Amino acid sequence: MKEEIRETRLSNGLTVLTDRMPGVRSATLGFFFRVGSRQEPAELNGISHFIEHTVFKGTERRSALEIAIEQDRLGGNLDAFTSHEETGFAIKVIDDQLPNAFDLIADILANPRFDEADLKSEQKVIIEEMKMVEDSPEEYLGELFSEAFFPEHPLGLNIAGTPKIVKSFNREITKKYHLDTYHAGNLVIAAAGNIDHDQIVGLAEKAFSSEVKPRASRDAHPPVVGAPILIKQNKNLEQAHMIIATPLVGAAHKSRYAADLLANIVGGGTSSRLWQKVREERGLAYSVGASAIMYQDCGMFSVFAGTSPEQVAEVVDLVIAEMRDVVKNGVTQDELDLAKQQTTASILLSLEDSAARAATLAQAEMIHGRQISLEESLGNLNAVLVDDIHALAQEYFKTKDVAFAALGDIPDLNIDRERLSI
């Protein structure tokens, strides 16, 4: 499906990106702010996530109930999220409902009421969300691990903040941070589907102030990554959950394609090394895999698994053995070709989904400051050589940088630097 990408940059800093998909009746509209928890001062940790929640509590024109009713009437699913580096709001609707969807989201984002009683209520909701994460061992371990892997850095902090800090977010603090941060200069509007670019530009010009405000800047220093060995006991869990990780390139790095392929080969699918060795051959885990997690200026190669407590050490040994083998011997051409085919199929299939295409537009803009064509992406992917994968593993899979974390009823687990040796 051919890309028909257009862009318009308004004088107030707002960027409008569209990807027209003739022949479909759907349209996805996304509002992506270049702000997340990474931009927050420590004393306001969690305020981006708090604002993502509280903008739905009402505007000067709509109550919270009216927002909910209108969302349901549009028939679309309105998703909102906060990450370390962005905050996003997206809705997928029938094409003739796009102006109504735009008006709804723009009103929510530009004119939130931030009523004090509503803020108090939502504080309780978010604290319950935090408790829910603590009851989900995989998510909870991820939070504990991030704090240790990115010590003394915003990337290591909980996106939702802490109960104490969240309780401090009154109307004055919330409204000021919203005015200073969630403005047109930090906004990328991305739409895909059966849409008209000029119509969306017109809607954007009408909905958002022409006032020019400074764009948010990421903290100047990338994190100094730690290599923790962290074991957290929880006697109530049947399984032990574990993470093994090393530093990796960031999302803007020239080796990002090789990094994705490396993670794919090691643990990205059912034919991957870890899936076959850990699950299929030895039956040690139901869920095991690897991923390349990339921020704008840094990244992390991460292996995850859930297994019985008495089997953790064996799984660790298998993971380290595969990482050691990649460092020593690299990967085969057959493995690389398969990973490329898998990734190419995923990219091409995503072209059929307007939501995926809108998100791709926004990500390219926020990370690279330009659009990357399908031809360029596939060309860069296919240009990766086995030597590139080998060099990347040799650079980043180093014993001193290997991090480990586990959560479960595993009192006798003995994991040290020697066991993690690559």
Q: What length does the chain have? A: 422
d(CA 136, CA 119): 26
Neighbours of 386 (CB within 10 A): 17
Neighbours of 390 (CB within 10 A): 18
Q: 52 an active-site residue?
A: yes
d(CA 404, CA 242): 7
Q: Choose among 340, 339, 332: nearest CA to 378.
A: 340
Q: Which of 3, 40, 43, 52 is catalytic?
A: 52
Q: Choose among 11, 4, 18, 3: nearest CA to 365.
A: 18
Contact (Cβ atoms closer than 8 angstroms) between residue 108 and residue 56: yes
Q: Which residues contact 141 (CB under 8 A, 6 or more apart)?
A: 232, 241, 242, 243, 405, 406, 407
Residues with catalytic annotation? 52
